[in-house]
Amino acid sequence: MRAAFHDRYGPPEVLRVEELERPAPKADELLVRIHASTVNLTDCHMRGAYPPFWRFLIGFRAPKPQFRIAGREFAGVVEEVGADVTEFEPGDRVFGRRLGANAEYLCVRDSGLVTPIPAGLTFEEAAGTFDGFHQGLTPMQRARVGEGTRLLVYGASGACGTAAVQLGKHFGAHVTAVCNTKNVDLVRALGADEVIDYLHEDFTKRREAYDVVLDAVGMHSFLRSRRALKRPGLFVATDRLVNFPLALLTRWSARRVVFTYREPDKADLLLLAQLLEAGEYRPVIDSTYPLDRVVEAHRYVETRQKTGNVVVTLDGAAR
């Protein structure tokens, strides 16, 4: 099978498309023929081991074998199932998350992060949903966003941001979205109550205050956002190591920093599938690249200019 492979850390060029042995499913696994996968900023961090703490997680000198095939999101068709698998059968259209997804085939445990693709979704749309959804859902849960919460999403046009806008509305919040000029109409169409174009206005200089400010792209700071927070109020960080000590220092303050991360679980994926099925969640796809152009896709994601998700398609994938 063909796969985007790297056995050392570095710039996008360390990736190469290679012919590797096709995996065989264990008794509790299904073999999925991948039709679409994604590239996101976390994939780029893992490939480049930047920030350096990634080396302690996935291999100090070089990525461990399980991290050498890039990608973590997938959508495709079940090709084969193990002897103990009862919930899936060959021909099922499925999507989810698993290491090594930038490849033509992938083995996934039937109890893992995999579920049927809702009717009406393409493989590209299904592949480009879960990572951003999970990144948006975790801050909503951590900040207890609910009916009447005044939520501001900074970086509302990225994968996490587009998810956070939609989830904020789903949970009943009043959502103010911050993005650049080209994405104003998109973010408004996702349900934002107000949209601020940061190229023309600084939200911290408004007279409005928010219960929660979510920095969905790791490009803002608590110190700048503090004046826009209510008392009590939360600045929810998704990136930037400086926010770890700030979370400790502000733990008992009226305006606090919280840093959110948790591993996704099956319940997250099932909630996403439910919202997609009901038409309450919209996948946002920036662009698609064939597997042979995966290096170019990584370069583009690293510009931090993408809108929503970047999808990698595999040769021969049917719509």
124 touches 311 (CB < 8 A): yes
Of 27-36, 154-163, 237-246, 265-274, where does mean pLDDT reach its minimum? 237-246
Kindly give the interhelix angle for 294-302 and 41-48, rounded to the nearest 10 degrees. 100
Residues 6 and 122 occupy one common structural domain: yes
Q: 65: how many CB neighbours lie within 10 A of its CB? A: 10
- The answer to whether residue 271 sits within a structural domain is no
Residues 56 and 165 occupy one common structural domain: no
pLDDT score at 85: 96
Dig out the tokens for 273 from the structure: 């599938």
Tell how strand 114-116 and strand 93-97 pair up. Answer: antiparallel
E strand or H helix at 154:
strand 150-154
228 touches 196 (CB < 8 A): no
Tell me the DSSP string of 86-118.
-S--TT-EEEEE-S--SBSEEEEETTSSEEEPP
Mean pLDDT, the chain, as a whole number?
Answer: 93
Instruction: Report the CATH number at residue 87.
Output: 3.90.180.10
Higher-scoring residue by pLDDT: 24, 317: 24
Instruction: Report the CATH number at residue 182.
Output: 3.40.50.720
Is the pLDDT at 127 greater than 70? The verdict is yes
Residues 145 and 30 occupy one common structural domain: no
pLDDT score at 51: 86
Q: In a 10 Å sphere around its CB, with 0-12 CB exposed, 13-18 middle and 19+ buried, how is residue 299 labelled?
A: middle
- The answer to whether residue 12 sits within a structural domain is yes
- For residue range 145-180, list pLDDT tens digits in order: 999 999 999 999 999 999 999 999 999 999 999 999
Residue 125, CA atoms < 13 Å, CB-side half-sphere: 16
- What confidence tier does 242 reach under pLDDT thresholds 50, 70, 90? low
What is the total count of domains within the chain?
2
Residues 118 and 10 occupy one common structural domain: yes
Dihedral sign, CA of 119, 121, 122, 125? negative
Q: Which of 300, 303, 230, 297 is closest to 37 using CA atoms?
A: 297
Q: Which residue has the tokens 């009862």?
A: 86
Residues 114 and 144 occupy one common structural domain: no
Cα separation, 36 vs 20, whole angstroms:
18
159 touches 309 (CB < 8 A): yes
- The answer to whether residue 273 sits within a structural domain is no
Cross-strand bridge partners of residue 258: 236
Could you give the angle at the alpha carbon of 104 between the alpha carbons of 98 and 110, nearest 5°? 40
Of 111-120, 134-143, 243-252, 261-270, where does mean pLDDT reach its minimum? 243-252
Output b/e per residue, 184-208; b: 16+ Cβ within 10 A. Answer: bebbbebbbeebbebeeeebbeeee
Q: What are phi and psi of 96, to 5 degrees?
A: 165, -150
287 Cβ contact partners less than 8 Å away, ≥ 6 residues apart: 300, 306, 310, 311
Residues 73 and 151 occupy one common structural domain: no
Per the structure, the complete domain to which residue 165 belongs is given by 132-259
- The answer to whether residue 267 sits within a structural domain is no
- What confidence tier does 249 reach under pLDDT thresholds 50, 70, 90? low
pLDDT score at 241: 61
Residues 138 and 247 occupy one common structural domain: yes
- The answer to whether residue 279 sits within a structural domain is no
Residues 181 and 137 occupy one common structural domain: yes
- What confidence tier does 319 reach under pLDDT thresholds 50, 70, 90? very low
Look up residue 130 and give its amino acid. F
Entry field: residues in the chain: 319
Instruction: Mark residue 177 as left, alpha or beta (left: phi above 0; alpha: psi -120 to 50; beta: remaining).
Output: beta
Query: Strands, DSSP E only, in 82-227?
Result: 93-97, 105-109, 114-116, 150-154, 174-179, 194-197, 210-215
Residues 60 and 77 occupy one common structural domain: yes
Residues 209 and 243 occupy one common structural domain: yes
Cα separation, 285 vs 125, whole angstroms:
7
Q: Which residue has the tokens 């592949």?
A: 127
Residues 289 and 221 occupy one common structural domain: no
Look up residue 41 and give its amino acid. L
